[in-house]
Amino acid sequence: MYNHFQGKLAVKTPTYAVIECAGVGYLLNISLNTFTKLGDEENCKLYAHLAVREDAMVLYGFADEAEREIFRQLISVSGVGPGTARMILSSLSAGEIEQAIQTGNVAVLKGVKGIGEKSAQRIIVDLKGKLGKQDSALPVQMFAGDNKLREEALSALVMLGFARNMAEKAVDKSLKAEGNVVSVEHLIKLALKNL
């Protein structure tokens, strides 16, 4: 429902931030990693995820799209709620989490408060296949500079009727092959060849 919030940073604490957009203050729960990346700039942008429960609608904010994607993957695991996912993201970076999952490193995930051995194993089993479908040689941060370009290309391919996971594979493959792609149009053309 919400992709991101951009505006004046009204309040910043280690657990939440309030961003004022057009006179409305939005409270977004954040991880410690996002807290650190926010800095003290007055204007900021946080990528958002809206968690809907029986008794509440809770917004979560992320400094970058890679962290939000890992969060979404984590909450898809049975027994891992948004609070637990935020705790994991406060303890480990998105890249560290992905690497722990891909290598099956239970100890790294167990090091997070509230994550036991069974939970860590379940996260690895459930997400290894999902994250493993992406090229494991590509760290999450590889696309940090190309995130906007990547997202625009993905959006266009999804609007053209391609499944998002297939489009992501094609775009990531194209970005890896081409390196610095000059335009969204060029990236879309390359991705279409890979579909």
Q: What is the pLDDT of residues 120-153, one digit of tens each?
A: 999 999 898 776 444 433 444 444 445 677 777 7
106 with 55, same domain: the answer is no
Confidence of residue 8 (pLDDT cuts 50, 70, 90): very high
69 with 127, same domain: the answer is yes
Mean pLDDT along residues 181-189 = 73
Give the helix ranges, DSSP H, for the chain: 32-38, 65-75, 82-91, 94-103, 106-110, 117-132, 147-159, 164-178, 184-194
75 with 125, same domain: the answer is yes
Separation between Cα atoms, residue 174 and residue 113, nearest integer Å: 38
Look up the CATH number of the domain holding residue 88: 1.10.150.20
pLDDT for the residue 53: 86
pLDDT for the residue 142: 42
* Amino acid at site 109: L
Longest alpha-carbon distance in the chain: 47
Handedness of CA 192, 68, 6, 161 (dihedral sign): positive
41 with 85, same domain: the answer is no
Which two tokens mark 26?
């939005």
Let me know: does 157 contact 167? Beta carbons within 8 Å. yes
Residue 138 lies in a domain: no
Which structural domain range is residue 123 located in? 65-132
Residue 105 has pLDDT above 80, yes or no: yes
Residue 138 backbone phi and psi in degrees, to 5 = -100, 110
pLDDT above 70 covers a percentage of the chain that reads: 89
188 with 151, same domain: the answer is yes
Comparing 25-29, 56-60, 99-103, 161-165, the range with the smallest average pLDDT is 161-165
Annotate 36-64 with b (16+ C-beta within 10 A) or e (fewer): eebeeeeebbbbbbebeeeeeeebbbbbb
Residue 158 has pLDDT above 60, yes or no: yes
Look up the CATH number of the domain holding residue 154: 1.10.8
Report helix, strand or coil for 80. coil
- Record the pTM: 0.65
Residue 45 lies in a domain: yes
Q: Which of 12, 44, 62 is the last residue of a domain?
A: 62
pLDDT for the residue 155: 80
pLDDT for the residue 136: 39
Separation between Cα atoms, residue 115 and residue 53, nearest integer Å: 22
Look up the CATH number of the domain holding residue 10: 2.40.50.140
